[in-house]
Amino acid sequence: MWKKQKYWNPVMETLSHDKIRDLQLRKFRKIFEWSYERSKFHRALYDKAGIRPHEIRSFEDIRRIPTVEKSMMRDIQRKDPFPYGDALCVPLDEVAEFRQTSGTTGQPVYQADTWQDWEWWSECWSYILWAQEYRPTDRVFLPFGYNVFVAFWAGHYAVERIGAEIVPGGVLDTQARILKIQELRCTAMMATPTYVLGMADTARRMGIDPASLGIRKITCAGEPGASIPTTKKRMQDAWGARVYDHAGATEIGAWCFECSAQSGGLHVNEAFFLVEIQDVETGEYIEEPGRRGKMIITALDRQAQPCIRFDSKDIIEWSNEPCPCGRTFRSITGGVVGRADDITKVKGVLLSPSAIEEVVRGIDGLGDEFEVIVDKDGDIDRITLKVEILKGREGERKQIEAKLKDQLRLKTNLGYILEFHDFGKLPRYDVKAKRFKDLRKH
Ligand SMILES: [Zn+2]
């Protein structure tokens, strides 16, 4: 009968806000003490700040605790206990899983998990899948290269945990994956938005309409696309499926998810994570909805290599809308709206790559691919945007160009050099795309 229930955990997901806050505070104190007692790295950090575990009694006290940056984790690794370094809180023989970050922003960071941590990962993902209406009747295809990266590994185990069926599409190429989905009549899949669109494109070239394949739910991660309305629409239209966003990270865990209400926000899994939002300029903490800042996050239950007040650089904002799904976990509007590192100034104006994506994907007649190059013409910043025109729409180029120019100016307040390419000419990516290049930094 439990399989008919609306929530994966009906108690936790409907707990009153006050009770969730109590639980978070209690869990925080526990993980903080755990790390202080067991890891040299954490003890040195907190001793230096003059903070002891017994002094943590409120959320204000928590804000006095120093944050941890990715670079600090890089500095301690490859030392004893090898290869994780002294942020490790368990003996090496209790480590059951190795993963590492992708290293897109520098040298990869290693991450250790115990078996209990790994169970926690898949429990977090079970909340996600259940909220996105995955049920035991689903047959879920996973088109990702099973590897040292955490990616969809925990999604894989959560499919088993909720009682659905998993089809691991590891080393197959895209065409073989599409044929496998067709052959087995899979009903759901998980991938990056770039790959979801790429697969649709490949299917069409094989003469198969992706919407005919029977995939009805797609869970996205790794890129913000599923929370960018125009990209989401392209994916949903192509596959005839509901496309959901989720955000997670190797060092953090699977901390937020979109639910089947698709209300434009993502729920933070507040049973397992404490999210704080900090103003990037002033350092002030933001409680009110609608104001953006960077996320400081604590994984409240992760033990081997704890994540305590991790400065994620993700830009988010609280929503104040209660979600129609009835979950009491707070939501963030529009998911992760950017990265503190990515948002760059061009001609003195803040530019977020997601804003350009939203415009390009919203224009009928343009392909899914695009590329943005920022460089300098003498002393002046210059942005080139390369787009592809769909086959058969070349004749409408003038109208499409005018619309693109208008929308870009409206949404980003900047002017661009526009380059139109034939469909299929821009680079394609298998996992995460590298569509934004800032050449001024080199
Ligand atoms: Zn909801």
pLDDT score recorded for residue 115? 98
Q: Is residue 1 scored above 60 in pLDDT?
A: no
Q: Is residue 161 scored above 70 in pLDDT?
A: yes
Ligand 1 centre to CA of 10 (Å) is 13
DSSP state, residue 141:
E
Ligand 1 centre to CA of 325 (Å) is 4
Single pTM value for the model: 0.89
**What number is the average pLDDT over the span 152-161?**
97
Ligand 1 centre to CA of 247 (Å) is 15
How far is Cα 39 from Cα 45, in angstroms, rounded to an integer?
Answer: 10
Over pLDDT 90: what percentage of the chain?
82
Residue 172 · residue 143 · CB < 8 Å = yes
Q: Of 99, 131, 105, whose CA–CA distance to 117 is shortest?
A: 99
Over pLDDT 70: what percentage of the chain?
98
How far is Cα 168 from Cα 172, in angstroms, rounded to an integer?
Answer: 9
pLDDT score recorded for residue 2? 60
**β-bridge pairing 310-316 and 338-339:** antiparallel
Q: Is residue 414 scored above 80 in pLDDT?
A: yes
* One-character DSSP codes across 235-280: HHHHHTSEEEEEEEETTTEEEEE--TT--SEEEE-TTTEEEEEE-T
Q: pLDDT digits over 207-245, tens only?
A: 999 999 999 999 999 888 999 999 999 999 999 999 999
How far is Cα 198 from Cα 223, in angstroms, rounded to an integer?
Answer: 14
pLDDT score recorded for residue 441? 67
Residue 438 pairs with which residues in a beta bridge? Answer: 374
How far is Cα 395 from Cα 389, in angstroms, rounded to an integer?
Answer: 10
Residue 231 · residue 357 · CB < 8 Å = yes
Question: Over the chain, what is the mean pLDDT?
Answer: 94
Q: Tell me the pLDDT band of 107, cut-offs 50, 70 and 90.
A: confident
Q: Of 408, 359, 417, 369, whose CA–CA distance to 390 is shortest?
A: 369
Q: Tell me the pLDDT band of 37, cut-offs 50, 70 and 90.
A: very high
Ligand 1 centre to CA of 393 (Å) is 39
pLDDT score recorded for residue 208? 98
User: Which domains does the chain possess?
Assistant: 1-339 (3.40.50.12780), 344-438 (3.30.300.30)
Ligand 1 centre to CA of 294 (Å) is 22
Residue 385 pairs with which residues in a beta bridge? Answer: 372, 418
Residue 156 · residue 134 · CB < 8 Å = no
Ligand 1 centre to CA of 150 (Å) is 25
